[in-house]
Chains A and B, each alone.
Chain A
Amino acid sequence: MRRWWLDLGSFAVALALAAAVVLRWRRGHVALLSSTAAPAIRLLALLIVFVQGCADRLRGREEPDGQGAVPGSQDMSVGAGPSQQVEEDMSQGANAPESSGTTPTLGPDAFPLADEAALGRWARLVADDGFAVGPGKRFALALVPVPEATPAQDPRWLQVASALEALADAAGGAEGEAFRSRWRAHVEARKAGGSETIAELQALLSSMEALPLYHAGLAGYVWRRAAPLPVSASERAELFGRIERHLRACEALLKGQFETGPIEFTAWRSKAAPPVGYSGLKVPKGLLAAAKGHYPQIDAGTWTVEATLSLTVVDAGVTLLRAGRASELQAGQRFTLGRLDVLASGRPAKLRHDELGDMSLGAGAVVTAWDVGQRLARPGSERVRAKVAAAQSDDSKALEQLQSILPAAHLEIRRALAEKPQAPGSPGLRTLLELFDQ
Chain B
Amino acid sequence: MGLLHRLYARAAPEVWETETRLLHALRLVRRPLAVQWIATAMCDLRCPHCYSGAGKRAEGELTTQEAIRLVVDELVALGRPTFVIAGGELLLRRDIAEIVAHARAQGLEWAMHTHGGHVPKFRSLFERHPPTLAAISLDGEQRQHDLFRGRQGSHAAALAAIRTLKECGCPEVVAGTTVTRENADRLADLFPIVAASGADSWGLHLFAPEGRGAEHTALCPTPEQLRRVAAFARRKRGLFHVELCNEWGSAGADDRFYRDQPFLCGAGRISCVVGATGEVLPCTTTDLRESEGNVRDRPLRDIWTRGFTRFRSAGHRECSDGHECWLQARNGNPCREQAFGACRKEAV
* Residues in chain A within 8 A of chain B (CB atoms): 21, 24-25, 28-33, 35, 37-38, 41-46, 48-50, 52-53, 67-70, 73-77, 128, 133, 137, 140-141, 144-145, 215-217, 250, 254-255, 257-262, 284-286, 290, 301-302, 305-306, 396, 399-400, 403, 427-428, 430-435, 438
Cβ B188 vs Cβ A431 within 8 A = yes
* Closest chain A CB from B147 CB (angstroms): 13
Q: Which residues of A are found within 8 Å of B79, using beta-carbon distances?
A: 32, 35
Contact (A427, B186) CB under 8 Å given A33-B31, A76-B342, A286-B6:
yes
* Closest chain B CB from A24 CB (angstroms): 5
Cβ B23 vs Cβ A33 within 8 A = yes
Q: Which residues of A are found within 8 Å of B231, using beta-carbon distances?
A: 302, 306, 435
Determine the main DSSP class of A at the interface with B: helix
Cβ B343 vs Cβ A33 within 8 A = no
6 A-B contacts, Cβ less than 8 Å apart? A25-B26, A31-B27, A35-B79, A42-B19, A67-B346, A250-B238
Contact (A427, B30) CB under 8 Å given A301-B257, A302-B231:
no
**Which listed segment binds A: B10-18, B42-50, B155-163?**
B10-18
Contact (A403, B28) CB under 8 Å given A45-B18, A49-B15, A254-B257:
no
Interface string of B326-348 (1 = CB under 8 A from A): 00000000000000001101110
Tell me if B122 is interfacial: C-beta within 8 Å of chain A: no
Q: Which residues of B are found within 8 Å of A217, using beta-carbon distances?
A: 238-239
Contact (A25, B27) CB under 8 Å given A255-B256, A284-B2, A305-B342:
yes
Cβ A33 vs Cβ B6 within 8 A = no
A74 and B29 CA atoms in complex are apart in Å by 38
Q: Which residues of A are found within 8 Å of B241, using beta-carbon distances?
A: 128, 133
* Closest chain B CB from A90 CB (angstroms): 22
A69 and B4 CA atoms in complex are apart in Å by 23
Q: Which residues of A are found within 8 Å of B253, using beta-carbon distances?
A: 75, 77
Contact (A41, B19) CB under 8 Å given A31-B29, A141-B195:
yes
* Closest chain B CB from A5 CB (angstroms): 29
Cβ A403 vs Cβ B235 within 8 A = no
Tell me if B319 is interfacial: C-beta within 8 Å of chain A: no
Partner of A46, one of B15, B28, B343: B15
Cβ A21 vs Cβ B8 within 8 A = no
Tell me if B78 is interfacial: C-beta within 8 Å of chain A: yes
Q: Which residues of B are found within 8 Å of A128, using beta-carbon distances?
A: 241
Q: Which residues of A are found within 8 Å of B347, using beta-carbon distances?
A: 67-70
Q: Which residues of A are found within 8 Å of B30, using beta-carbon distances?
A: 32-33, 38
Q: Which residues of B are found within 8 Å of A53, using beta-carbon distances?
A: 11
Tell me if B217 is interfacial: C-beta within 8 Å of chain A: no
* Closest chain A CB from B83 CB (angstroms): 17
Cβ B29 vs Cβ A30 within 8 A = yes
Contact (A137, B31) CB under 8 Å given A48-B18, A261-B5, A396-B222:
no
Cβ B188 vs Cβ A434 within 8 A = yes
Partner of B224, one of A50, A400, A427: A400
Interface string of B261-293 (1 = CB under 8 A from A): 010000000000000000000000000000000
A60 and B238 CA atoms in complex are apart in Å by 39
A190 and B234 CA atoms in complex are apart in Å by 27
* Closest chain B CB from A304 CB (angstroms): 12
Partner of B254, one of A38, A48, A77: A77
Q: Which residues of A are found within 8 Å of B14, using beta-carbon distances?
A: 49, 52
Residues from 192 to 213 in B contacting A, C-beta threshold 8 Å: 192, 195
The residue on B at minimum CB distance from A77 is: B254
A144 and B188 CA atoms in complex are apart in Å by 13
Tell me if B22 is interfacial: C-beta within 8 Å of chain A: yes
* Closest chain B CB from A149 CB (angstroms): 17
Tell me if B151 is interfacial: C-beta within 8 Å of chain A: no
Tell me if B145 is interfacial: C-beta within 8 Å of chain A: no
The 8 closest A-B pairs by CB, nearest first: A428-B185, A73-B345, A45-B19, A258-B256, A285-B2, A431-B188, A427-B186, A217-B238
Cβ B346 vs Cβ A428 within 8 A = no
Tell me if B260 is interfacial: C-beta within 8 Å of chain A: yes
Contact (A42, B235) CB under 8 Å given A430-B189, A434-B188:
no
Q: Which residues of B are found within 8 Å of A133, using beta-carbon distances?
A: 240-241
Tell me if B101 is interfacial: C-beta within 8 Å of chain A: no
Cβ B23 vs Cβ A430 within 8 A = no
Interface string of B129-158 (1 = CB under 8 A from A): 000000000000000000000000000000
Cβ B235 vs Cβ A438 within 8 A = yes
Contact (A431, B187) CB under 8 Å given A24-B27, A70-B346, A260-B2:
yes
